[in-house]
Structure formats: structure tokens, C-alpha cells
Amino acid sequence: MPPYCLCTPLMPLGESVWGFHEPEEQCDKAVTFRGLCPFDPEKQRIRRVLTDMFPLRSRLLPVLRLYLLGFKVLLLQLFTRAFRLPEMPRQDGKVAIVTGGGRGIGYEVVRHMARLGVHVIIGGRDEREGLAAVRRICEEYKEAKVEFKKLDLASLQSVHQFVQRFKQQGLPLNILINNAGVMLVPERRTEDGFEQHFGVNYLGHFLLTWLLLDTLKDSGRCGHFSRVVNVSSSAHRIGEVRLNDLNSRQCYSAHAAYCRSKLAQLVFSSHLQQELQHGGFPVTSCAVDPGMVDTALYCHLWKPLHLAHSALAPLLLKTPVQGAATVLHAALSPALEGEYGEGYWSNGCREMTTPPTFDSQLKLSLWETSLQLLGLQ
């Protein structure tokens, strides 16, 4: 299959071109969206030269775009009523896995599902934090079935071990919530050599979902589909997937790397739903944007912004309970049974996403590249 390139030529802030092409020497056209200029390989060569000449621009632009987007999202949140989760029916007999369920949004998701009778398994890196979360929930709800299993998404071996331990229990799996994530961490690599945002936010969850698909399929049935919920972010709207630089080795920017990982997660979620639907399996996949929520995700902000965030977050951002509402809606609502495939949910409503999530060639290319990186193909 020819390599895929998703590119953003040098254009005014906020504009972009999305396209795929043959190897550069064979390239003569591209698919474009929003009526913008066609792809030009010569323009891409110029872009790469300019990137090398002006690395500061390549690092500064993603910062400006992400904070501008954050400001817009914050304004929207301030003037929009937060989605309130309606009362959900009991979920006795169901089993769920929630990554990053020891704190923040993940903790509130686990807590609510445990109250409804779901047997919840928290997958997390911090054992002390995870066990403390289990203890608090079990103290609050005496009949709760909650347990913790070690899961480090920055280690492919840890993901394999987590799945192996889970399958040894012989439990079904009705709900998988890929919630854990990192944001704006300094440049570093995972245990397997992948860029941290790409490895944790996307590739680790890709592998986890892939290894659990057989159990999800076996656990679903007509009228009671298993569900995969990927917790994404509005940051995907300014991201781009570069299959020739998934590890962000060219002019590294933590802000750009985060946005790319969230777009990759969304593209994966959409393609997974297509695969499941075409195969006729009783499993659905969707992505959710919880909004800007007051959690520890912002701990790597630039120092002055971090101080401002600490002071203003309780006033401006959603609480973890509010952030968890849309995640729980996607995971539990009977109204969405079997019909929310390829959905992207924000504040309790289905929303349109960016053009790359509708690009079948990109979705397939990213899917196959991910399988190759993980040694699954």
C-alpha cells in the first residue's frame, strides 16, 4: 500500500489541507477538504526546508493554536450548561475496564458505574493511588465490586500482562473505557521507544483494545452490545497525523504531539467501529470529549499558566463529575444501544469531527501502521 501523508502546508493560522499521495516521485494529486488548495509535493519539500530553517516557528505555532483553542472551548463552556447525566438503570452483571480510573474523570466514572452494580477493574500505573480509589469507593458503596490491576500504557509488555491477568479471571467484558492519558509532558520516550503522547494516549490503548476485542465480541449480544469508549479531546481539531513521523522526531513540540495523539485516537475509534460493523460483531466504538476539566492533566503547563490554572480552575473548568457525565452516557445509556458507531460525543451531544476522521484511506493506513509497530501484522 502506498505511504500516506497528512500534511499542513504553510497557510494562515487555523487553515489546513488534508490529503494522501503516492510516493513523492509519483505524486500528482491529493484529496482536499474545505475547498482549499490542492496538495503540491514541491510545497511540502519547501515546508520541510523552512521547518529546518525556522524550528522556533514549528514549536511556537502549536503552542499558540492549542491555547487559542483552549480559550475558545473555555468560553463555550462558561456560556453553555454542562450536560447532566440522566438516571441510568442498574447494570448488574456487567464488567468494565477503565484505564486511569484512580483519579479525576476516570475515578468518577468508576465510582458511578460501581454504584450501578458494574464490576469495574481499574487499570493504572500508580498502585497506591489505584488501591486507595478502590478503598474509597468500597467504603462509600458496600456492595461495590471494584478492583485494581497494574497497567502502564507506556510499556507494551505491561499491557500484555494486564490483559493476560484479566483473561485468567474468566470474566466477560462489556465496557472498555480508554481514559488514561498524558498532556504536555517534556520530550521523552516510552519503554519501547515511542514518543510519550503517542505511546500512552494512542498506541497503548490501541494494543489494549486489540487484545481485548475477542472478549468484547464474546460478551456482546443483540440488544446488549459491548462498548468501547475512547476519551479524546477537542485538541484533535488542530492535530495532524504524519505517518512518516508518528514519533514526532522532527522539531519536537509537546503541544503538537498531544494534539496528534488525540487525533490518532479519534481516527482509530472511527475505523474500529467500521471494522466491527462490517464484521457484524455486537460491539460499538465511539469517542468522547469530556471538555476542560479540573484534573491533574494540566500539571505540565508552563509555570505561570500552571499557577493561574491552580487559582482559577475551580471557577472556570468543569468538575470531574461533570466531565465524567458524557463518558458515562456513551458507556451506559440504553438510548445509544448499538447505534452510536463512529460517534463523537461532547457535552452529551453528538458532534461532527474534523475531515481526517472521515478519510477512509487515512484510517486504514494508520490502522495498518499501528499493527506493524506493535508486531501484530
pLDDT at 16 over 60: no
Residues with catalytic roles: 258
DSSP state of 301: S
Is residue 42 helix, strand or coil?
A: helix
**Residue 79's CB: how many other CB atoms inside 10 A?**
7
The pTM assigned to this predicted structure is: 0.82
pLDDT at 231 over 80: yes
Each residue's pLDDT tens digit, 55-114 = 555 667 877 888 888 888 889 888 999 999 999 999 999 999 999 999 999 999 999 999
The rounded distance, in Å, linking the Cα atoms of 293 and 301 is 14
- Rg of the chain over all Cα atoms, to the nearest angstrom: 20
pLDDT at 14 over 50: no
Q: How confident is the model at residue 352 (pLDDT cuts 50, 70, 90)?
A: confident
Each residue's pLDDT tens digit, 118-168 = 999 999 999 999 999 999 999 999 999 999 999 999 999 999 999 999 999
> What is the per-residue pLDDT for 56?
55
Report which listed range, 35-44, 172-181, 241-250, is most confident.
172-181
* Percent of the chain scoring above 70 in pLDDT: 80
Each residue's pLDDT tens digit, 44-54 = 455 555 555 55
Cβ(123)–Cβ(158) under 8 Å? no
Residue environment code for 20-56, b if the CB has 16+ CB neighbours within 10 A, otherwise e: bbeeeeebeebeeeeeeeebbbebbeebeeeeeeeee
> What is the per-residue pLDDT for 338?
73
- Listing DSSP states for 126-147 in one string gives -HHHHHHHHHHHHHHSTT-EEE
Topology of domain 88-373 in CATH is Rossmann fold (3.40.50)
Mean pLDDT score, 340-356: 82
> What is the per-residue pLDDT for 31?
34
All residues at 6 or more sequence positions from 58 whose CB lies less than 8 Å from its CB, including other chains: 51, 250, 251, 253
> What is the per-residue pLDDT for 6?
38
Cβ(293)–Cβ(264) under 8 Å? no
pLDDT at 4 over 60: no
- Listing DSSP states for 156-177 in one string gives HHHHHHHHHHHHHTT----EEE
Q: How confident is the model at residue 304 (pLDDT cuts 50, 70, 90)?
A: confident
Which of 199, 181, 218, 135 has the alpha carbon at shortest distance from 327? 181
Burial of 199 from C-beta contacts in 10 A (0-12 / 13-18 / 19+): buried
Indicate the average pLDDT of the chain.
83
